[in-house]
A and B are shown apart, each in its own frame.
Chain A
Amino acid sequence: MAKVFYSLFIAVFLFTSCGNNNNKLFTLLDKSDTGVEFRNMLVEGDELNVMNYSYFYNGSGVSVGDINNDGLLDLFFTGNMVKNKLYLNKGDFKFEDITSKSGISLLEGWCTGSTMVDINGDGFLDIYVSRSADINPERRKNLFFINNGDLTFTERAEEYGLADDGYSTQASFFDFDKDGDLDMFLINHSLQQYSTGIQENLQLRKLRDPNFATKLYRNDNGYFKDVSIEAGITSNVLSFGLGVAISDVNADSWPDIYVSNDFNEPDYLFVNNGNGTFTDKLTESMDQISMYSMGSDIADYNNDGHTDLITLDMLPEDNKTQKMHSGSENFDKMQFLFNKGFYYQFSRNMLQKNNGDGTFSEIGQLAGVSNTDWSWSALFTDFDNDGNKDLFITNGYVKDYTDMDFLKFTMDQTIKSRQVGKETSVKDYIEKMPTIKMPNYAFQNMGNDRFVKKNIDWGIDQSGISSGAAYADLDNDGDMDLIVSNINDYVSIYRNNSEVIKPNSYLKVKLKGDKNNSLGIGAKVIAYSKGKKYFQEQFLSRGFQSSVDPVLNFGLGEIKVLDSLLVIWPTDKIQKLTNVKVNQTLSIDFKNADIELKSVVEDSFIPYLSATTSINHAHVENAFNDFTVQSLMPNYLSRQGPCMAKGDVNGDGLDDLFIGGAANQAGTLFIQSKNGLFNKKSSPSIDDDAQSEDTSAEFLDIDNDGDLDLYVASGGYEFSYDNSLLQDRIYLNDGKGDFARKLSALPNMLISTGVVKASDINGDGFLDLFVGGRLIPGMYPVSPESKILINDKKGNFSDLSSTIAPQIKEIGMVTDALWLDLNNDKIKDLIIVGEWMPIKVFLNKSGKLVDASSSYIKFASTGWWNRIYADDFDNDGDADLIIGNLGFNAQFKASEKEPLSLYYKDFDGNGSIDPIFCYFLGGVSYPAASRDDLADQLPQIKNNFLEYYKYANATISDLFTESQLSDAKVLKAEILETVYLENTKDGFKLKSLPIEVQYAPIYALTSLDVNKDGKKDLLLAGNNSSTRIKFGQFNANNGVLLTGNGNGTFNYVPQRQSGLKINGDVRSLTTINSGSKANEKFIFGVNNSNLQFLKINY
């Protein structure tokens, strides 16, 4: 009832308040009210157009600053083909165009980025303008308008040594060498002859062209010198710099630089070495980056004190637009580029969460900010002042020339229909293409790594083609207004109404730096309140070609008084204020900084875990491209190893270790010695089976002779379904750790096995086996056979699945299983998990396995389960479960209402299974495959879907007739979350784990007690790098440590504190007790990589 009244009230309110439009967070102001009538108009001509200048439609920039020190922020706009404009803020959102009298429009040219900075320390803001496009270098020279203090400016770039005549995008001023004055970083971009996709070779990457180069200019007493080469600022003719973001990402007090590069050249992360040089540490810091990187921003979005990065790309949000712009996924091309040093790049926005240990986890998809179409500017700032920095992204493109129908059909027809020059045809055609306008994206930061699109709620839903943007508190009311530059349309100025809508606390911090850096650029400001911190850095060039409000604004929610405010100046002087009142503008003068940085103790600590003496052993994966066999599979299946098994094989009381090999690599046995070291033991019998791919292993005494025998499961995807290399193997132990294969032990079963788990099913004192089938090579996702094998008391097994557990035989694609007594009858029951499978529970009732899933699992549980682990996490005496799943950091989401589905059958009757993976996007389930990839497997769909626009809206029922679908099978996945299942009297109760667990798929689990509090903690690892290009790589997990509270709840331990930096695809994890608990080791089996040993440091 209350709700109804409330909505009514709102409705009435809406009707009555249309006039002042204050009911949304933002109000778009009318140009006739503001007086800002700038438009970045573009006219394609023969001299300049998108065919001879690729960045014709990149748009312009915005700069904000108080040029006359009247306390009001003024606006500067660059124009590409129109004159730049300068507007004086007269208060109350009224602006005066002072362009002509300011002298700022005397020089024109194709202006791109701009930034305001006080370069000469006279207290007046100067304006640096970048220029590009023009063939004449004279007209590309960047401009520096020096403020004369009387609202006029004089252009003096040459005097400063900053008249760079490259193809410039944007400059950022900062003090890289901490000598107190401002240096400059400039990004330039290459030209179309290097963007044609035919020049990717190493020699070109060594070729530098000053016109395209990324440059560092050092300020030597007021004159700037290009020190790029000596400072290690690398770039080449393939550099297309479109974004620059500066931040001290590794918190070593030296500012670092991130450069976004369009096209194939990877971005650069120039880490400041503190000695005047930089080192590009991108590949060692980030797992994957945006492909067509454009604008960017760096800020601490999650209030952990470390700055995070977003880079923008072109991936659309909705299915139709995605399909209209996706051709075939070219896995070979990606691998080719990677091998040439172009790194892993995928076309979507990347949110790089700073782990604080020199690494980043890319979680843009989990955060919900990865798909914003062709995007330009990203700005993190707290629009609603709730304490979490929100995110604004501009987007739009004037001509939709990446449309696939254009690429494959339209342009060809156009060229053929006119007998004129090709170049002219293309240019003319593109000119006439309709303009597609779309709204920008406004995301509210909900905390916990989640952003929610708020365009409509916040009143930022107007369509347009936006480029540069800036945030600024134009009316000094304590919230950030927005200024957005648009192509072929007027600038948008949005007034922030937070003071009316939901007044939150704020604090404005105005920095007054030393003479040569009067804005305190590079300063860090941290507000502390009740254990929380709010962190910002003073860097002004942000987003795309733009610079923002030089007064920092902190949104502080309901905080009334800050415990303290810390200002760390770029020259390491520190100032600390306590009991700071909110809702004020605080001017902080450098002069009062009285603490030296060194005297402030960093929260130093020893991480919980660290590397320890390891075995020098690598898992070597055989090269195989699964997609060459079944091109429509969602992921690779040939990379499941290494598996591991531990057990004391020689009776010396110490655990030994078996590590499985990939195809053509033998599994290896390591014997532990008293000193905790592991020595390889040669096992000719195991070596003989090197050709098989080991996917699961278990030590077990099959013949009750008191020693541990070894079961090694064979699997993988790289063999044909009937290859004898798929036969599992049992090796008998002679009691001394020497193993010999017992061929007769197992029945013939050519199954690509996922898991083997032993238990005495019939109570005869001998171990029996559950063998879970993972897949049928070449026939994904047809259910393979799973088996119950019964021991004849002599160590020979026979297949009794039909009598003991008929339902298990085709249960699905099993990945893991667990024997666990669930009903306290002292007999172990079986839990089975798998890909596209529900969690299945079978109770052992008098030697028969009876499906009791419905009594134990009471939620929609079909998922992409990888691994199951049991332990008593809530100290109630029974074992709880952790089950690893895909997680949330993916293009697709799943729920009971909107599950993933996989339709499969031999749709075209040619003897091969065609898996059609579908997922929901915007409330409708669409096939995941692009039209090209689907047609590659099923060419006949081109009969109906030759053109992309037809396929763009097609669902599975459009692709196939009802009768075609009637006998197709469907698998579902309703949950992708890695879960904690609490064992209760009423079955397993689903509980969520900290969000960091969901960053990537989990394949490896173990419990431990890192902090010696007697409560079980949890270690989770995984990742999956071998997947579809559209999905990128699932690898944001560097090893996650959760400390348990003893009641089934857990807390995430930040990476810096956990010490976990596990790269790669972890496939197994085991704990080895080396004699004493103190010598406990954690062994990570990483696919195609070295084993990693970790120990607890406490």
Chain B
Amino acid sequence: MRNIFAVFFVCLLLTSCIKKEDYKSVFNNPELYTNAVGDLTKVITHDIFTPPVASRIYAYSNIAAYEVIASNSEYSSIAPKLKDFKLNLSPNNKINTEFTALLAFLYMGQNLIFSKDSIQIVIDNHIDLAEKHGMPSEMIKSSEIYAKNVSQAIFEWAKKDNYKETRSAIKYNVSNSDSSRWVPTPPAYMPAVEPNWMKIRPLLIDSASQFLPNPPSDFSTKKDSKFYTLAKEVYDVGTNLTQEQKAIADFWDCNGFRMNVSGHVMFATKAMTPGGHWMGITGIVCKNQSADFNKTVYAFANVSIGIFDAFIACWNTKFKYDLLRPETYINQHIDYSWRPYLQTPPFPEYTSGHSIISSASATILDKIFGPNTPFTDNTERAWGWPDRDYKNVQHAAQEASISRIYGGIHYREAIEEGLIEGKKIGSLVSSKFN
């Protein structure tokens, strides 16, 4: 990974070292920011953070960058609207706003990931870039200090979001008596991921249960029941998947930790999380829509806050209804040998996390860029999946949702309700930013 960063920067340096004193234009480049988010995604993936935890890293890091922008532009701080957050910092005029925003993003990200050296390389490369392009050393220094102050203030605030406490909170208790409840699934039978995530302090929603979806259909094993029908749909679709459906399922798999088992050979393959995927889409849409640096940061902050709150709401629903996965139900009541096309993620089924966060992200991006946002999603290239074209972000969100049925890991209700809940959260986030 380090090598990739290094190569990228060497190229950048080589092509640009002829010019001097052009740091302003060099840093007024939204792609630098999108790339920095991409670098963070790589580390998140490598370090194996679960989707909710990854959303926390994205949110705080983007907030750090956004607060730098807001302190020095027409954008206004979101801090007053964030729970329990006070930011009493203002920069002196010697900073370069974009450079500072980048550093604040990276410092904050570095606080929250494990492979700190990998992010340090990215930070150092940005500083090198500033030096090579004639940014005054005093400005570099001031920018670094201000970025550190902002990220430190956000870090201190972040520490009180109950994340630490939930590390040692009571874990999920598997029940053998209630057959509607979620149980660990093959092949690794991993314990439920983040059973206390609903206790994390949300950013803009009032509480984890502000937009509680309708409950799922009553559990039943009777063949004429609604629940059986829902499971049967997953089974039928999954049994007769078309190539296109498989492609969609693969494209939106976003499984951060997939276990591959063959005899005694076992290994994980790691993709970016659903949140990571939407960070990627945000970057593409910003570029397509020619968003400038500040607007790009604004969009990232919006979307990442939406995803963060959506995960809290979703996890609240998941552990409230505690519903078993299609794989478990189908194996017990329809076909013992059936396997979902995707690997079932290790947490309760209802509602679909990908649906809610995709819907929230799309709603937010819609608000910022309007409904006409055609784009080619190339974020899955690294995992070997071909690019896909979308009419707009809602189109992508719809496909992300339906992909979970193709993948055999969700019932239809979970994606429909997820889309609705995501939309509500997205609208709320957008309204708070305005």
A-B interaction: yes
Of the 9-residue stretches A329-337, A503-511, A592-600, A643-651, which lies at the interface with chain B? A329-337
Instruction: Point out the residues of chain B lying under 8 angstroms from A809, CB to CB.
Output: none
Name the residue of chain B whose CB is nearest to the CB of A936.
B167
- Does B22 touch A at the CB level, under 8 Å? no
Instruction: Point out the residues of chain A lying under 8 angstroms from B259, CB to CB.
Output: 197
Instruction: Point out the residues of chain B lying under 8 angstroms from A401, CB to CB.
Output: 264-267
Q: Is the CB of B336 within 8 A of A419?
A: no
* A381 to B263 CA separation, bound complex (whole angstroms): 32
Instruction: Point out the residues of chain B lying under 8 angstroms from A412, CB to CB.
Output: 267-270
- Does B243 touch A at the CB level, under 8 Å? no
- Does B173 touch A at the CB level, under 8 Å? yes
Given contacts A201-B336, A336-B189, contact A402 B264 (CB under 8 A): yes
Instruction: Point out the residues of chain B lying under 8 angstroms from A204, CB to CB.
Output: 336-337
Contact for B164 among A406, A625, A909, CB less than 8 A: A909
* A196 to B266 CA separation, bound complex (whole angstroms): 9
| Total count of chain B residues near the partner, CB < 8 A | 47
- Does B48 touch A at the CB level, under 8 Å? yes
Least CB distance from B340 to A in Å reads 10
Name the residue of chain B whose CB is nearest to the CB of A200.
B186
Q: Is the CB of A946 within 8 A of B114?
A: yes
Q: Mark A125-158, 1 if CB is under 8 A from B, else 0.
A: 0000000000000000000000000000000000
A-contacting residues, B180-195, CB 8 Å: 183-184, 186-191
Residue in B47, B172, B174, B187 with the greatest tally of chain A CB atoms within 10 Å = B174
* A938 to B168 CA separation, bound complex (whole angstroms): 8
Given contacts A203-B336, A336-B184, contact A407 B164 (CB under 8 A): no
* A627 to B168 CA separation, bound complex (whole angstroms): 11
* A204 to B338 CA separation, bound complex (whole angstroms): 12
Residue in B48, B184, B261, B267 with the greatest tally of chain A CB atoms within 10 Å = B267
* A330 to B114 CA separation, bound complex (whole angstroms): 24
A-contacting residues, B132-176, CB 8 Å: 164-165, 167-176
Given contacts A203-B337, A412-B267, A938-B167, contact A333 B48 (CB under 8 A): no
Q: Is the CB of B269 within 8 A of A415?
A: yes
* A408 to B269 CA separation, bound complex (whole angstroms): 8
Name the residue of chain B whose CB is nearest to the CB of A196.
B261
Q: Is the CB of B174 within 8 A of A335?
A: yes
Q: Is the CB of A910 within 8 A of B164?
A: yes
- Does A824 touch B at the CB level, under 8 Å? no
Given contacts A196-B262, A412-B269, contact A910 B115 (CB under 8 A): no
Contact for A339 among B164, B170, B176, B267, CB less than 8 A: B176
Q: Is the CB of B264 within 8 A of A54?
A: yes
Instruction: Point out the residues of chain A lying under 8 angstroms from B183, CB to CB.
Output: 332, 336
Instruction: Point out the residues of chain B lying under 8 angstroms from A339, CB to CB.
Output: 176
Q: Is the CB of A192 within 8 A of B186?
A: no
Least CB distance from B26 to A in Å reads 30
Instruction: Point out the residues of chain A lying under 8 angstroms from B170, CB to CB.
Output: 628-629
| Total count of chain A residues near the partner, CB < 8 A | 60
Least CB distance from A1039 to B in Å reads 30
Given contacts A419-B384, A946-B47, contact A198 B186 (CB under 8 A): yes
Name the residue of chain B whose CB is nearest to the CB of A334.
B189
* A511 to B154 CA separation, bound complex (whole angstroms): 83
- Does B90 touch A at the CB level, under 8 Å? no
* A197 to B186 CA separation, bound complex (whole angstroms): 6
Q: Is the CB of A195 within 8 A of B191?
A: no
* A942 to B95 CA separation, bound complex (whole angstroms): 34
Q: Is the CB of B190 within 8 A of A330?
A: yes
Q: Is the CB of B270 within 8 A of A332?
A: no
A-contacting residues, B347-402, CB 8 Å: 382-384
Least CB distance from A52 to B in Å reads 8
Q: Is the CB of B265 within 8 A of A51?
A: yes
- Does A911 touch B at the CB level, under 8 Å? yes
Instruction: Point out the residues of chain B lying under 8 angstroms from A912, CB to CB.
Output: 165, 168-169
- Does A939 touch B at the CB level, under 8 Å? yes
Contact for B187 among A198, A409, A411, A939, CB less than 8 A: A198
A-contacting residues, B329-345, CB 8 Å: 331, 336-337, 339
Contact for A333 among B167, B173, B189, B267, CB less than 8 A: B189
Residue in A51, A54, A333, A335 with the greatest tally of chain B CB atoms within 10 Å = A333
Q: Is the CB of A332 within 8 A of B189?
A: yes
* A199 to B191 CA separation, bound complex (whole angstroms): 18
Name the residue of chain B whose CB is nearest to the CB of A632.
B168
- Does B46 touch A at the CB level, under 8 Å? yes
* A413 to B115 CA separation, bound complex (whole angstroms): 15
Name the residue of chain A whose CB is nearest to the CB of B267.
A411
Q: Mark A389-404, 1 if CB is under 8 A from B, else 0.
A: 0000000000001100
Instruction: Point out the residues of chain B lying under 8 angstroms from A333, CB to CB.
Output: 184, 188-189
Instruction: Point out the residues of chain A lying under 8 angstroms from B266, CB to CB.
Output: 401-402, 407
Given contacts A332-B184, A336-B183, A628-B171, contact A195 B262 (CB under 8 A): yes
Given contacts A203-B337, A332-B189, A336-B183, contact A55 B263 (CB under 8 A): yes
Q: Mark B102-141, 1 if CB is under 8 A from A, else 0.
A: 0000000000001110000000000000000000000000
Contact for B174 among A192, A198, A332, CB less than 8 A: A332
Q: Mark A281-307, 1 if CB is under 8 A from B, else 0.
A: 000000000001000000000000000
Q: Is the CB of B262 within 8 A of A192?
A: yes
Instruction: Point out the residues of chain B lying under 8 angstroms from A624, CB to CB.
Output: 173
* A197 to B331 CA separation, bound complex (whole angstroms): 15
* A628 to B319 CA separation, bound complex (whole angstroms): 15
* A195 to B264 CA separation, bound complex (whole angstroms): 8
Least CB distance from B281 to A in Å reads 20
Instruction: Point out the residues of chain B lying under 8 angstroms from A411, CB to CB.
Output: 267-269
Q: Is the CB of A911 within 8 A of B165?
A: yes
Q: Is the CB of B189 within 8 A of A908?
A: no
Least CB distance from B356 to A in Å reads 25
Name the residue of chain B whose CB is nearest to the CB of A912.
B168
* A939 to B163 CA separation, bound complex (whole angstroms): 11
* A412 to B189 CA separation, bound complex (whole angstroms): 20
Instruction: Point out the residues of chain A lying under 8 angstroms from B173, CB to CB.
Output: 623-625, 628
Q: Is the CB of B262 within 8 A of A631?
A: no
Least CB distance from B37 to A in Å reads 19
Instruction: Point out the residues of chain A lying under 8 angstroms from B337, CB to CB.
Output: 203-204
Given contacts A54-B262, A407-B268, contact A937 B167 (CB under 8 A): yes
Contact for A426 among B114, B175, B186, B267, CB less than 8 A: B267
- Does A50 touch B at the CB level, under 8 Å? yes
* A197 to B187 CA separation, bound complex (whole angstroms): 5
Q: Is the CB of A908 within 8 A of B382?
A: no
Least CB distance from A485 to B in Å reads 20
Least CB distance from A295 to B in Å reads 15
Residue in A292, A408, A936 with the greatest tally of chain B CB atoms within 10 Å = A408
Q: Is the CB of A408 within 8 A of B48?
A: yes
Instruction: Point out the residues of chain A lying under 8 angstroms from B269, CB to CB.
Output: 411-412, 415, 422
Q: Is the CB of A943 within 8 A of B168?
A: no
* A328 to B189 CA separation, bound complex (whole angstroms): 11
Least CB distance from B229 to A in Å reads 23
Least CB distance from B335 to A in Å reads 10
Instruction: Point out the residues of chain A lying under 8 angstroms from B339, CB to CB.
Output: 198
Q: Which 8 residue pairs spanning A and B have beta carbons closest together?
A: A54-B263, A198-B186, A197-B187, A912-B168, A411-B267, A333-B189, A628-B171, A910-B164
- Of the A-B pairs whose beta carbons lie under 8 Å apart in the complex, a sample of 15, sorted by A's number, is A54-B264, A195-B263, A197-B186, A203-B336, A204-B336, A330-B189, A336-B189, A411-B269, A412-B269, A623-B175, A628-B170, A628-B173, A908-B167, A911-B165, A946-B115
Q: A195-B262, A203-B337, A335-B174 are in contact. List 16 more A-B contacts (CB 8 A).
A: A196-B262, A197-B188, A197-B189, A203-B336, A333-B188, A401-B264, A401-B267, A407-B266, A408-B268, A411-B268, A411-B269, A422-B269, A624-B173, A625-B171, A908-B164, A910-B165
Interface residues of B (CB under 8 A from A): 1, 46-48, 114-116, 164-165, 167-177, 183-184, 186-191, 259-270, 331, 336-337, 339, 382-384
Interface residues of A (CB under 8 A from B): 50-51, 54-55, 192, 195-204, 292, 328, 330, 332-333, 335-336, 339, 401-402, 406-413, 415-416, 419, 422, 426, 430, 623-625, 627-631, 908-912, 914, 936-939, 942-943, 946
